[in-house]
Structure 1
């Protein structure tokens, strides 16, 4: 899941799969859908896009050129929560939402309540890092969101003893706050036992979620998040942060990005992309790469903030981020479900 991000002028090749997902690799709203697909073991082509130099075709998928967008047999679905629920509709044999109407509504309500504060909390951290605003206000927003989540967590997972819809919709935003906890002074939380001993239920939940196979499979490594955030804070986001520096100059960008039983890996000698079985025991895309913390890319904002609602990468150069490129989910009707 690591092809180059497509830009304006890049070709979108025909897909051989019925499902195609357009994403920005560091976007939390996009990660919601990737987690859902990963849990369902669904085959999907993933297309990474550059949200500053947007490919023209993106506007034919979403009228405002936002992500995520799921394309299913030529039809486009937007909004991360709606996309996830749509996946259950078309693949009922692997449905994550329960069939019982009340339990299904409960998962939607939990997701809506959690979405009410967590994305805003991660965004507050990003804004504080960019503008050096009052850290006390940022910490208050973060702890208010964590307090609410701790109170809502009444079992191992928000879904019970097994992760469900609310867990997958929530994880990317807590992950982004966790990523920020690695930046000196960004939060007063613990990166080693996130969020802190004051939140024992969330501490256990986060540890269990990070260790799950479907999460490790789609999460970007910590060091890449931090590298991306460093550029984002400066108004220079690199949507392929962490790839070799000569990628943009020497390698073509394709939309050949398959997810599920196979994954693309680059052959250094031929610069060709070869598909090989995904190896869960040798996954270099897990978010456990804390040993790369000595990277000086510590201001990395990570996918969390920006995407979650920071959707407007068109405004990066003006440092006027309206969050509009991450569709979804900023003022989603689905968030209240």
Structure 2
């Protein structure tokens, strides 16, 4: 049987980088290549063959799930690597020095392997049709869960109870876990972008920032909404409208050929011109896939060009210390002609 499509795509790229093989040990990269959800294995990807080094207890499961690989069970990476490279004349073998553990990375380098970071990151940034469908499914479940939750966000509930209900709804709709720790941040807590949901009771007339996502077949979603308990007051309504305008400006920029930094600049300009620039304290967005934060970075000075198949977030925010915060985030797929919002 043929190797998985993502492995074949990676094999085709090795020649471009002057490599005979590449060692893959990082879990997200292994998930991407094999679609195998278990931990505790490594791959050596050659231009024509692939070797999987794994414990005996994974052998049968891996063989059924990932066709086409030669399996080396109960072996250590470095001795196995030495034998394979000599037997198959793999002279130039790379590894991702940015993701590798220090000690093993040093050993690989001492063994003659070449530091070639970000090769898989470049491939993973553009999703295949199958992988994009998985992100879409995760985003659809996330958006549907929020629609069910919204009527239940009321004063008197704790932040953590709202977070748990939202997570339960995503699971009921088919999510296989949370994409990251769900954030429910009410009142002054909303001015802390990475607040941890707490036992704090949600009060009347408070802004609540809710940042959440789920996992579907290894791929993740990311979405943020800010709601108000009661009738929105003047300051909140003004800030919310400004963030909403900023997000629209950024999303309109998401299309092929545009630098990711230009998306950030479009969103940031709206907030800065209104006098709130110093309260927008993070980048505008990021790529999403198997990891919640992937390339491209939608940040100042990021020159990476957007390409069809990329998935990015646009999530401007304004955070007023001691008062409240507002963030609105959607996940978008870059299409051949523009973009499509997945979290709606």
Q: TM-score, normalised by structure 2?
A: 0.28
Bigger share in helix:
1
Q: Which has the higher contact order (CA 8 A, sep 6+)?
A: 1
Q: TM-score, normalised by structure 1?
A: 0.29
Bigger share in strand:
2
